[in-house]
Amino acid sequence: MQSRTHTCGELRLADAGKKVRLVGWLENFREVGAELGFVVLRDFYGTTQIVVETADMMKVVKAITKESTISVEGVVRERSSKNAKQATGEIEVVPEKVEVLGRCRYNELPFEINHSREADESSRLKYRYLDLRNPEVKKNIILRSQVIAALRSSMIDHGFMEITTPILTVSSPEGARDYLVPARKHPGKFYALPQAPQQFKQLLMVSGFDRYFQIAPCFRDEDARGDRSPGEFYQLDMEMAFASQEDVFEVLEDVLPPIFAKYGTYNRASSAPFKRIPYLTAMEKYGSDKPDLRIDLTVEDVTDVLRTPDFAPFADGVIKAVVISNFHESRKFIDKTMADVEVQAGNKGYWFRIDENGEVVGGISKFVAPKKDEVIAKLNLEPNTLVVLSAGTKAAAQKTAGVLVKTFGAAVPGHMDKEQYAFCWIVDFPMYEIGDESGELEFCHNPFSMPSGGLDVLLKAEKGEIDPLTIMADQYDLVCNGVELSSGAVRNHDPEIMVKAFELVRLGEEDVKKKFPAMYNAFCYGAPPHAGIAPGVDRMVMLLAGEESIREIIPFPMNKNAQDIMMGAPGYVTDKQLEELHIKTVEVTE
């Protein structure tokens, strides 16, 4: 407080008569007459009105450009016309001295500060330091800080120790592209920025640390989307020794709900225990492994009653239905929403209605009508009901049905209890799948998850006694409001089980040793059973803030093309720098 006596959000009526010094940005100046004007002074904490009442002071203030930083010395007095919407709205400051601390040298700003969210994204990112002056933008960054502090405090209270793991490490096959860093002292070799601290945190368990966490930076060279920022992101990374799935669930079910209830846009959050849904059940019932439990719509299989050679999409494959009761929207609404579904799912949806008289009408009703009674009985349909459908391969039908649930659930009144945070665990993921490109057995998700049943079940699969596709993994996802916050697992800490799991996908012990030498060798020295998870901090704050784009809660985000257009990254470097790193660039021609 060296240069000010109070902040711009601090003064109240009780301060009337005090001589004060305020500092901040000149947000706005409104000239009313030759000797009367009003300044809005803004700092991190709020705004205060400065009232100009003399010709001399008017001359000083009129010479200052908007968004300059200034110092105001004056006396606090009660406002005659109070502003109930402003925290300092009962007072104003009459200035005796105004000093420019940092002049804004531009008469035109790229956008109005308080309306920056209405500007195009490229301008907002280029002038992010101006965008962040907007209190509506700034509050998300403040929220992020508060949430991280609350997470850190809660984890420490639960007996976890914060340990930072290396940023420069080795490239490993973890599912996404690495960001590589050339090693100057080791020509031809590269470090990699960690996609996650996965191996290090497991090694900490082998080292004898019982409960680890960190707010960990992770780096993946992947494309952006609404809930994923390209380049870097942060996660609440945690691992527990001598622990099971239940131990991990117990910790997060105790840590997260109070934070979501306190800091969230909605003050309701699921309490423990969160609902648990097996992966295969989630795909059948919700058409997604990220179900939004705020929506009351579910998926039903109607292949047996609706398969017909008279309608090509229903002639073979799988048919799924979503029943939407109490439906009174227009045909135009249906067509628009179905078009949105097709864009999102990449697959066409179909529909018919049961009207107020109980008749099948609209959409594909002529193909449904011959089986009217059977369909109504199967789906327990009542008048004024819309039925939306998907068809195709099992995977395509499930995916489209999932989009139907989310899109219509959010759009049709009465089917979504929006103002809450609905958590669930997705459990029992398949250990293996048949690869789309290879046509052979591959790991479905995390290859280091413990297979349910351990070594015995792998040996049975090796002998052909069971189908390896039926093997489940002790892996779990945490989902909130249809957003995957995290994946976690009970880790495969036994080298013998690990090697056998990899052998089923045609990789031997030497391959495991070569790809993951530190972890494999460490496990050979006696590893504790351990489990962990890593909820995404960025996604968490996005949900809490009620934002649709993750870039709104990141202080300095990149754009969709992984560019920082404010700093000019990525950028070119000098030939000397490349020479020091033993690197030559080549021009790629199309």
Cis omega (within 30 of 0) for bond into 570: yes
Residue 322 to residues 159, 391, 544, 586: CA-CA distances in angstroms?
45, 12, 29, 54
Owner of token pair 């049709």: 412
Of the candidates 545, 540, 491, the one whose C-alpha atom is nearest the C-alpha of residue 520 is 491
pLDDT at 226: 65
pLDDT at 173: 67
Of the candidates 46, 4, 49, the one whose C-alpha atom is nearest the C-alpha of residue 28 is 49
- Phi, psi of 93, deg, nearest 5: -115, 130
Q: Are 299 and 285 in contact (CB under 8 A)?
A: yes
The number of beta carbons lying within 10 Å of the beta carbon of residue 115 is 10
Q: Are 21 and 72 in contact (CB under 8 A)?
A: yes
Three-class SS state of 410: helix
pLDDT at 528: 97
Residue 421 to residues 36, 289, 395, 428, 563: CA-CA distances in angstroms?
50, 17, 28, 23, 32
Give the torsion sign (CA, 69, 124, 118, 538).
Answer: negative
Give the torsion sign (CA, 79, 81, 82, 85).
Answer: negative
pLDDT at 589: 75
Which residues in 172-189 are b (16+ Cβ under 10 Å) and which e? Answer: bebeeebbebbeeeeeee
- At the topology level, CATH places domain 13-102 in OB fold (Dihydrolipoamide Acetyltransferase, E2P) (2.40.50)
Owner of token pair 């309608």: 311
pLDDT at 193: 95
Which regions of the chain carry the CATH code 2.40.50.140? 13-102
Q: Are 477 and 449 in contact (CB under 8 A)?
A: no
Name the token pair of 255: 């840590």
Name the token pair of 222: 């992947």
- Find the angle CA(114)-CA(418)-CA(558) to the nearest 5 degrees: 45
Q: 537-545 vs 135-157: helix axis angle to the nearest 10?
A: 130
* pLDDT values of the chain reduced to their tens digit, one per residue, 590 residues: 568 999 999 999 999 999 999 999 999 999 998 889 999 999 999 999 999 999 999 999 999 999 999 999 999 999 999 999 999 999 999 999 999 999 999 999 999 999 999 999 999 999 999 999 999 999 999 999 999 999 999 999 999 999 999 999 998 766 678 999 999 999 999 999 999 999 999 999 999 999 999 999 999 998 877 677 788 999 999 999 999 999 999 999 999 999 999 999 998 999 999 999 999 999 999 999 999 999 999 999 999 999 999 999 999 999 999 999 999 999 999 999 999 999 999 999 999 999 999 999 999 999 999 999 999 999 999 999 999 999 999 999 999 999 999 999 999 999 999 999 999 999 999 999 998 888 899 998 888 899 999 999 999 999 999 999 999 999 999 999 999 999 999 999 999 999 999 999 998 889 888 888 888 999 999 999 999 999 999 999 999 999 999 999 999 999 999 999 999 999 999 999 999 999 998 888 76
Classify domain 295-411 at the CATH class level: alpha beta
